[in-house]
Amino acid sequence: MLLVMGVLLILVGGLLLLWTFGYLQDFAALWPMLFVVLGLLLLYFVFVRRVPEVYAFPGMLMGVGGLYFLLGTSFMSWQTLFRIWPIFMAIAGVSILPYAMMKRGSARAALLVPGVAIIVLAAVFLLFSLHLISQRLSHVAYLWWPLLIVVLGLIFLASHVKRKQRISEGGADDSSERFGAEE
């Protein structure tokens, strides 16, 4: 209960600060706070009260999405928000991460990989949307696509090192038997 009260007091105090400094002119612009509060309550129930983790994704989506719309209705223009449209993608990616962290083994990886991929794509698209990269996306993709192969190689190397550490710590590794391959 202290956690919920603390978060609510921080939100209310922050909004009142925005209002007293003149960034928030109209209290009708606070309608997204409903989504922020509902999202935080869902996350509270998932992480503290241990309700089923299926509520983590909608909690993150409503909380972070509500904050985004709160920016649009309070002190950022909608034109600015349209320029930063990839943040919607990042919200979806970020919403997957807490849910993934509650899983174990391959289920965690099956959720973490898409979540991180969505966040990375959102960051790349944001660079183009903000005109920080002046070239066309197709030209940049044409030049830099081999980087994906390098990243994949780094992932394989990291997996190899992690497997070797597990073996040296005394853990059993049957992956070479499963795949019938030696190093």
Distance CA 129, CA 82 (A): 9
Comparing CA positions, the residue from 42, 127, 125, 60 lying closest to residue 89 is: 125
Q: Which residue has the tokens 């202290």?
A: 2
Q: How much is the pLDDT for 157?
A: 94
Six-digit token pair at 30? Answer: 């606070």
The conformation of residue 26, written as its DSSP 8-state character, comes to -
Six-digit token pair at 49? 């009260």
The predicted pLDDT at position 34 comes to 87
State how far the Cα of 8 lies from the Cα of 130, in Å rounded to an integer.
33
Residues in the chain: 183
Q: What is the pLDDT along the chain (183 residues), one digit of tens a residue?
A: 677 778 778 888 887 887 788 777 777 777 888 898 898 888 888 878 888 878 888 888 888 888 888 887 777 777 887 788 898 889 888 888 887 888 888 888 888 999 999 999 999 999 999 889 989 888 988 898 899 899 889 989 998 998 888 888 876 555 554 554 545
Q: How many CB atoms lie within 10 A of CB 183?
A: 6
Q: How far apart are CA 75 and CA 5, in angstroms?
A: 26
Residue type, 175: S
pLDDT of residue 172: 58
Of 7, 11, 94, residue with least CA distance to 57: 94
Task: State the pLDDT at residue 3.
Answer: 73
Tokens of 110: 């099956």
